[in-house]
Structure 1
């Protein structure tokens, strides 16, 4: 450790430049990861936060909730196969809403739920849905940024129904649009009883899920994770961003390994002299490893601070989410990549022959 720090102190500019490049790369990794997490939340937070394990869909829906329609017979079979604590049905419909008397339209998603069911969201501002009340809705908090307030009367474009906004929830969006939750009774009235619910949510183990799939004809039971992937654009969007993050980690490993490999080659003679004086290969290898880890830890600390600072300056409309588990995961990966990238340098240090190195120096 002493030799590693002394050398870094002696060649400040060299290691500052390497550190700066690592800061930029790790900042980019964290920023893109936060953007990927934010886009995932903006696209599917209503499903991500749903308190359910499985979703029952029409078998012909291609695992897409918005394409599914469960028949009354299928719902009855599901009711017979489960108890009230295990299932709750829900409806979903993409739409637009506008304040009464205003021309501006806002994209939204109607989510019909049982107010007493386990997937009904709790309002953080205003009231929650009540079973007996019709034509009431609670909206995602992002609607506030669109100018909506509690008490506003919203006209739903598809059916022409006027809904009263009674509260706000958080983390409730679907396909990059804010979710408006309504009761199943309101949903039924909006469609004159002609449109059934899209799906049913299950809180059960895999055995129960398979049992329902066998007992109820024409349905498919998928996990919540599969339901997320089937949201239009979700898998493609996350796949593209994940590929970018992977490439950034590969670039980080490549840049780090090249830098330290070149530095190691420049110090072959010095390492040879140290070996001739009795220094062991293990000691010299630890010196290189200390340098790598020190630079990585300091660079990560600076990039984390920089990323959190930038995140505070981003507009509210930009989907960006950076939390402790995400930062911790990226940091561990970055440290792992740094260690892997330094292995070439460690191999070079181990195979240095003291006699040859001193001979080249002379």
Structure 2
């Protein structure tokens, strides 16, 4: 470590330029990762935060929530293979809503759930869905940015039903639109006008173990039990969006590995004579190799700290409507991966250090 730091101090400009490139690459990796996480949350946070581990769909739905249709009879059949408290219906509809007395319309997704079930979201403002009466709803907090307030009367454009907003939830969006949670009674009244009528649901949410899920799939004809991860992938555009961003992140890591490899390989070639002299006076190849690794790790860690600070600064300057999300696990994972890539990128330099012949290097210097 002593030799590594002394050399960095001696060649400040050279290592400053390398560090600057590493800061830019690591910043870009963190920024794109935060953007991917933010878009993922904006597209499907309502599913990600759902207190269910399996979803039951119609077998012919092609794993798409909006295409699935489950009758109340099928829902009772599903519930017969699990505790009733572990099974609850779910209905989803893409729609537009409008605040009473206001002309602009807003794209939204309606989630109809049982207010007493594990799918009912908690409220960060106002009343939760558990306290809702018929024709009342809770909406995502992002609705406040569009001028919605607690107590507003909202018209659901498809049915023309007017509901009262009684509370706000957090991180509840679907397909890049805010989610409006309604009770099943309100949903039925919107579409049939009769609260006790038969109804078709899109899915059944389960809080069961794997064996119970398999039992339901095997015994309830015409159904398919899938995990939340599979539901996320089936959301239109979700897999393609995340796949594109993931490919960009992978290429950035590959570019980082190549850049670091070339820089440290060239620097090592320039120092062949010095390494030869050090070997001649007794320095071991292992010691010299560790010097190179210490230099790589030191530069990488400093660059990561600067890029993390820079990323958080830029994130605070982004407009509120831009989907961007940074979390400690995401930063930790990217940092560990970047350190790993940096060490891998230095392996060519380590090989060059090990094969240096002291006599030949000194002779070349003379």
TM range (shorter): over 0.9
**1:75 & 1:204 partners in 2: Cα distance?**
15
Other-structure match for 1:172: 172
| Counterpart check, 1:318 vs 2:322 | yes
**1:186 & 1:82 partners in 2: Cα distance?**
26
Alignment of 1:163-312 (within 5 A): 163-192=163-192, 193=197, 195-312=199-316
Other-structure match for 2:4: 4
- Alignment TM-score, normalising by the size of structure 1: 0.99
Partner SS state of residue 139, structure 2 = strand
Shift of 1:81: 1.8
Other-structure match for 1:52: 52
Shift of 1:287: 0.6
**1:173 & 1:207 partners in 2: Cα distance?**
31
Partner SS state of residue 278, structure 1 = coil
**2:200 & 2:313 partners in 1: Cα distance?**
47
Partner SS state of residue 60, structure 2 = helix
Other-structure match for 1:24: 24
Q: How far does the alpha carbon of each residue in 1:186-241 deviate from its partner, in whole angstroms, 9 at most, with x for none?
A: 11111104641110100111111110011111110000110111111000000000
**1:285 & 1:159 partners in 2: Cα distance?**
71
Contact 2:61/2:68 (CA < 8 Å) preserved in 1? Answer: yes
**2:348 & 2:43 partners in 1: Cα distance?**
42
Partner SS state of residue 30, structure 1 = helix
Cα RMSD for the two superposed structures: 1.0
Contact 1:131/1:183 (CA < 8 Å) preserved in 2? Answer: no
**1:149 & 1:360 partners in 2: Cα distance?**
79
Partner SS state of residue 148, structure 1 = coil
**2:53 & 2:217 partners in 1: Cα distance?**
14
| Counterpart check, 1:119 vs 2:119 | yes
**1:359 & 1:140 partners in 2: Cα distance?**
74
Q: Give the aligned length.
A: 362
Q: How far does the alpha carbon of each residue in 1:16-50 deviate from its partner, in whole angstroms, 9 at most, with x for none?
A: 00000000000000000000000000000000000
| Counterpart check, 1:62 vs 2:91 | no
Q: How far does the alpha carbon of each residue in 1:74-96 deviate from its partner, in whole angstroms, 9 at most, with x for none?
A: 11211222212211111100000
Contact 2:139/2:178 (CA < 8 Å) preserved in 1? Answer: yes
Other-structure match for 1:73: 73
Other-structure match for 2:346: 342
Shift of 1:72: 2.4
Partner SS state of residue 129, structure 2 = coil
Q: How far does the alpha carbon of each residue in 1:258-299 deviate from its partner, in whole angstroms, 9 at most, with x for none?
A: 000000000001101111111100010011011000000000
Contact 2:82/2:208 (CA < 8 Å) preserved in 1? Answer: no
Partner SS state of residue 109, structure 1 = strand
**1:75 & 1:219 partners in 2: Cα distance?**
10
**1:166 & 1:264 partners in 2: Cα distance?**
67
Shift of 1:131: 6.6
Stretch deviating more after TM superposition (65-74 or 299-308): 65-74
Contact 1:264/1:348 (CA < 8 Å) preserved in 2? Answer: yes
